[in-house]
Amino acid sequence: MPDHTARDQATLGFYANEAPVYAASGPGGASRHLDSFLQLFAPGARILELGCGGGRDSEEMLARGFQLDATDGVPEIARKAEERIGRPVRVMRFDELDGVDEYDGVWAHASLVHVPRPALPGVLALVFRALRAGGVHFANFKGGGCEGRDAFGRYFNYLTADEVSAAYRRSAEWDIQSVTEYLGGGYDGGQGPWVGITARKPV
């Protein structure tokens, strides 16, 4: 199992080694939750993307006129995203987030899934701090209720809906807007349970 920091070296190593294949995988369009998330913001809002992967959601946000700070914790993945979107992607792990009242939104699609459970409230506290008052955050997590590693050696926190809500409540004074459970896919091609959460920083 991983240590209690937000950095799991085996997971980071997987993405570094598989960057070209991983960046080219998955559906061609933006994530299913992105449109409803972006509808919450005025044109030109500033959004932080945590774990941008190959840049497909980054590409959509930029095309729609948002100010985007795209980040990824793996340099090799960040470079592939840069090739796609034609602009710099900042290399930053979740526990290195140091912004204060900077963003209208924080988008974390299928990225905080890799934060070890003991470290998750601390990372969510950093997200809360980085948001402006009234700002909105979305994240989704693979469900299951039992942390572990997949066939590729990647760590996942596999949270239930109740565990996701509890982690957010422990981290900061979030106004939780919605928690949804649904069936979704993954890099391995399989289908399984997912939990999505939308939370707001109070005004």
- 73-105 tens-digit pLDDT: 999 999 999 999 999 999 999 999 999 999 999
Give the model's confidence band at 25: pLDDT under 50 very low, under 70 low, under 90 confident, else very high: low
How many other C-beta atoms lie within 10 A of the C-beta of residue 162? 11
- Residue 159 is predicted with a pLDDT of 98
With a cut of 50, say whether residue 148 has pLDDT above it.
yes
Q: In what order do the strands lie in the sheet with 131-142?
A: 90-91, 67-72, 46-49, 103-108, 131-142, 191-200, 175-185
With a cut of 80, say whether residue 138 has pLDDT above it.
Answer: yes
Q: What is the pLDDT of residue 1?
A: 37
Query: Could you tell me the pLDDT band of residue 3, with boundaries at 50, 70 and 90?
Result: very low
**Residue the block writes with tokens 């809360």:** 128
CATH 3.40.190.10 fits 9-200, yes or no: no
> Given this model, what pLDDT does residue 64 score?
97
Helix (H, G, I), strand (E, B), or coil: what is residue 158? coil
Nearest-5° angle of CA 159, CA 70, CA 90?
110
pLDDT at 87: 96
Q: Tens digit of pLDDT for each residue in 162-189? A: 999 999 999 999 999 999 999 998 777 7
Q: What is the C-alpha to C-alpha distance for residues 94 and 73, in angstroms, rounded to an integer?
A: 7
Among the listed residues 108, 94, 103, 117, the one whose alpha carbon sits nearest the alpha carbon of residue 140: 108
Q: How many residues belong to the chain?
A: 203
pLDDT per residue over 26-68, tens digit each?
Answer: 556 799 999 999 999 999 999 999 999 999 999 999 999 999 9
Residue 41 is encoded by which pair of tokens?
């913001």
Residue among 117, 197, 106 nearest 156 (CA): 117
User: What per-residue confidence (pLDDT) applies to 83?
Assistant: 95
